[in-house]
Structures are given as C-alpha cells and as structure tokens.
Chain A
Amino acid sequence: MEPKRVSLFAGHYGSGKTNIAVNYAFLLKKMGKEVTVADLDIVNPYFRTKDSEKELSEAGIPLISSAFANSNVDLPALPQELYSLVERQDRYAVLDIGGDDRGALALGRYVPFILEENNYEMFFVVNFYRPLTTTAEEAMEVMHEIEDACKMRFTAIINNSNIGNDTTARDVLATFEETEKLSRLSGLPVRMTTVTAQVAEDMKDVENILPMVLQEKYFDINI
C-alpha cells in the first residue's frame, strides 16, 4: 500500500508510538522516500525520539524535536521548524504524538494544514498489555479522548501489544481478537502488527507484521 505523505502515530502513553514512528521512518527511507521525523511529545520527560537521533541521522533522516528534550527544562515547547513538515509537501513526514489527550493537544495547531492537504494516515497505536487499555472498550475511550483533543480522526489501528522483553509470538497472537473488536467498534482497519525482530521470526505466516529494532537503553537488563 502506497504510504501517505504524513503519518501520525498517537495512542495511550507507553503504547510504543516512538519506537514505531522511528521504525516506520526507516521503512519509508528503504522505500526510497525522503522523510523527516518529528517529536511532538510534550508529555514524556525521558525515552523520546531524541534518543534515536544518531541512528536516524546516520540513515539520512532529519529529526525535529524540542530543544529541551532530555534536558532539565520541563517545558511543553514545540520547535518552530515543525511548520516545515506541513508546508514542504515534497518530503514525507512521520509525527510522533505525545501520550494521551494531553499530548495530542499540541498537534491541534497543525491539524488544519494536514486536513487541507488531505494526504495523511493517523495511526492509533494500542498495546492491550498496558493497564489502562486492556480491552477494546478502554482503548476506544483513549481513542476518543485523543481525537477530541487534537480535532482529528484516526484512520487506522496498529496493534503493538507486548509485555517488553518477555513477549512471545503467542502473547501477540492472543491480542488479535481484541484488536479485531477494536476495529469493529471504531470502524477502522488494522494496518499492521508491530513486534521485535526476534518475535517476528515466530510469526512468519502472519500477515502485515512490521519487525522493529528498539531503542537501546544501557540499563535495560534484568539479571
């Protein structure tokens, strides 16, 4: 399927938006598209797109993020360069929207431009192993809160259900029923299922899987 010029990733905080946005940008680059990633997260203090700046830069993907990301300045500020994403229609844009409705509020000011151009896909990222979105009904609640905050409607669902390093293919498959239910309730198609490259090995016969490389955290160990 031909990707839209603007791809937006939103969902409950901690649903996996940042990792998916970064991996999706790599995917677009591999398809030969010129792409820019933007970190619109005004909620999370740590673990942001900015952590992947080096990898993105090496792949020739510019990153636009707050000058204050990963610093001690706890200001919900957005960089002015963000307007270039909606104004320069010759490049693809991947937007990582901050957590929940509060994070999505920041998107609002760019929405009129995105709607006018009408060449976008807005993904609702869901992880059914996250405590406040364990059912399709709860996920619908978060979906509506985000849509109300940014005044824009989702166009598709990404199932990113996982329990971190413990995730098996079986755990992911166990969420397909709930994802289908969310699709029925919302009327939105399920565009893909995102898993780590390791889990993807065990899901070769499943359609629309996007294997992902995750952000590295040097303390991310459990001995």
Chain B
Amino acid sequence: MADKVLMKGNEAIAEAAILAGCRHYFGYPITPQTEIAAYMAKRMPKIGGTFLQAESEVAAINMVYGVAGAGYRVITSSSSPGISLKSEGLSYMAGSDLPAVVVNVQGGGPGLGGIQPSQSDYFQATKGGGHGDYKMIVLAPASVQEMADLTIEGFDLADKYRMTTMILADGTMGQMMEPVELKADAVKTYEKPWAVTGTKMARKHNIINSLSLVPEELEQLNFARYERYKQIEETEARWEEFMMEDAEYCIVAFGIAARVSKNAIVAARAKGIKVGLIRPITLWPFPKKVLCDAADKCKAFISVELSMGQMIEDVELATRCKKPVVLCNRAGGMIPTPEQVLAKIEEVAGGIN
C-alpha cells in the first residue's frame, strides 16, 4: 500500500504529536477541533500514553504546565473561546519558561461566536492573549501535511527555546482531508536539565515558578527572555513565496486564505496581472525582512484574511508603510472566494497602474 494515509487535519496534528514523542494530552472537547481529542482518546491508551479529558480548559492548561515542568512533551488543543480560557495558563507557562504545543483550530468570534472557520485569533496568538511581556512561537499550517509537519517542528522549537508553540489553524484546516506522509526522521529530542525530575540528593532543586518577589530580578528575567525572542526573530522566521519573482503586487495570506489566494493569483496571471504571494508560515516571528524587501519591488500589498483585518497591521509594520496595504477579507466564519480575491487584485492593479 502507499506510504501516505488520508487524514483530517485534526488527526494529522494528533498523530504527529505522538510521532514527536508526546505521550500526554489534556483537553476539553470543542468544535471544530474535537477530532484531536477523539483521536488521542483512542491512541494514547494503546501506546502507554495519557489522554485526559479535563473538567475545563483552565484545568487542562494547568495539567500541561505540570507535565511540561516534569520535562515531558505535552500538547493541548482547543478552539477560540477555549484558548481564551487557557490564556492565563499560557502566561504562567511563559513566565516559567515551559515548552509545550498548544493548538487553536479557530472558529468565528468574538464571544461564543461560531464553529465555522476563522482567523480572528491572530492578535491573541501573536500579541499575547495572556498578561505580561511574552511571546509564543506561532505556526500557521496551510495543508494537512503541514498540520503534521509543523506539529513535529512545533515540539522541536518549543524544547529548543523553552517556550510555548501555538499551532494556529482554522476550522477548514482541522476538518479537511488530504494525503499525509508522516516523517519520523524530522523528530529531534533535547536534554532538559531544568526539569523537575527529583534531585536524587545529587543536585540542587529545580524550581518551576513564574512568581518573582524581587522586581530587579524579574526585570532581568524579562531582559533575558527578550534576548531569546530576538534570536528567534533573527533565525526562525519561515515563509513560502509563490510567483514572487516578477510580482508587481503581493498578496500576504496564511492558512486557508493562502490556498484561496493561490487560485486567485493563477487566474490573475492568466489576465496578465503580475501578482504573487508571500505566505507567512511563522506568524511570530513574522517574516518581516522578506516583506520589507518585497516593498522595494512591489507596487502594493493585499492582506487576505478570515478576520476584520489583523495581520494587515504586521504587514504595514514590516513594509514600513513604503507601499499601500489593502485588506481583502471575510469574517464571522466565512471564507473569501477566489473570485473575491481576484476582484481585489484587479481593483488594486487598475487603481495604481
């Protein structure tokens, strides 16, 4: 039989986490990410792992805190309102420098919102939904294959930098089915000398804590953490370029919006409009440099989003407002069509030429 399997995006995340050596899942069901929990419930008992449906998202993220502190790979998943509930825990994990993978399969918001796909948690993910000075590495898959690959990479980055990686997907990415090849050779492991594993009377106590009684020390911790963030911004930005070689107009889009945009770009090219795509794969660190460079060549940027326009602010910052940036969007659980994106491309190209 073929090397590939046919998976839902949610299943791909779950199986990739297991492949990455994660044996602990804590979560609470919420559409459209429930298949992650359902898959873990089936698989974890068979491989000696832990699946635990917590009494709430708040409980689940604190279980993640505990297991991460003990040095084990751990994952939790939810959808938009559930991530808001986890946000306190995410801040505490950042304050304790704990690695974990957190998945957000977004639905429309705000509030209870809806279960149809959305990208309106971009600000929450990239600017910090919780309190305090902190960042998460935010990965944005645009295919079921990437749901798997970026989960494995997410564990790697989390352990490497002792911080939380968020997989920021949307409902379609979670629900759609595509062929996937699971790549075990991409898995890396890390020593965790800081983990709370028992001193065996042979070393000093390791302490996992986010409370600092001395403000001078807390300031130093923040300085050190931001040195690490700076290094990540310099080395870990990832993106895909599509038809950018001769592009006069540049679409910026991630996840499902990038898939839709590619269709529109092919259609626009057929009409003679030179348009390309820069697809951020890391939303934090945001691929600033490639966008800044593109602003020297392109006439205008179009940010295609399933929100009221959130990433567009990062596009404007990255391009230093050198060129106009316009929004093409749907919100509340709706997806832009290729025709809508094509119409925006034609409008921008017509208006600026």
Q: Which residues of A contact B (CB under 8 A)?
A: 13-14, 44-47, 70-72, 74, 100, 127-132, 134, 162-166, 171, 174-175, 217-223
Contacts of A44 in B (CB 8 A): 175
Q: Contact: B6 with A219, CB < 8 Å?
A: no
**Contacting residue for A46 out of B5, B32, B42, CB 8 A:** B32
Chain B CB within 10 A, most for which of A46, A127, A166? A46
B114 close to A46 (CB less than 8 A): no
Q: A45-B116, A129-B1 are in contact. List 17 more A-B contacts (CB 8 A).
A: A13-B8, A14-B11, A45-B115, A45-B171, A72-B108, A128-B1, A129-B179, A131-B39, A163-B6, A171-B2, A174-B1, A217-B176, A218-B337, A219-B260, A219-B263, A223-B262, A223-B266
A14-B179 contact, Cβ under 8 Å, with A74-B115, A219-B335: no
> In this complex, what residue of B is CB-closest to A162?
B6
Within residues 27 to 75 of chain B, which ones have a CB less than 8 A from any CB in chain A? Answer: 31-32, 35, 38-39, 42-43
Contacts of A218 in B (CB 8 A): 260, 263, 337-338
Question: Shortest distance in angstroms between B19's beta carbon and chain A's nearest beta carbon?
Answer: 11
B278 at the interface (CB under 8 A from A): no
B residues adjacent to A (C-beta < 8 A):
1-2, 4-8, 11, 15, 31-32, 35, 38-39, 42-43, 108, 113-117, 143, 171-172, 175-179, 242, 256, 259-260, 262-263, 266, 333, 335, 337-338
Q: Which residues of A contact B266 (CB under 8 A)?
A: 223
User: How many inter-chain contacts with C-beta < 8 Å in the A-B complex?
Assistant: 95
Say yes or no: A45 contacts B7, CB within 8 Å: no
- Say whether B6 contacts A14, CB under 8 Å: yes
Q: Shortest beta-carbon distance, A103 to chain B, in Å?
A: 11
Q: Give Cα A70–Cα B38 distance, bound, in whole angstroms.
A: 21
Chain B residues lying within 8 Å of A127, measured Cβ to Cβ, are 6
Closest to A47 in B: B175
Q: How far is the CB of B99 from chain A (nearest CB, A)?
A: 26
Given contacts A129-B6, A171-B1, contact A164 B175 (CB under 8 A): no
Query: Which of A129, A132, A174, A223 is the one whose CB lies under 8 Å from B39?
Result: A132
- A131 lies within 8 A of B7 (CB): yes
Chain A residue with the shortest CB-CB distance to B335: A219
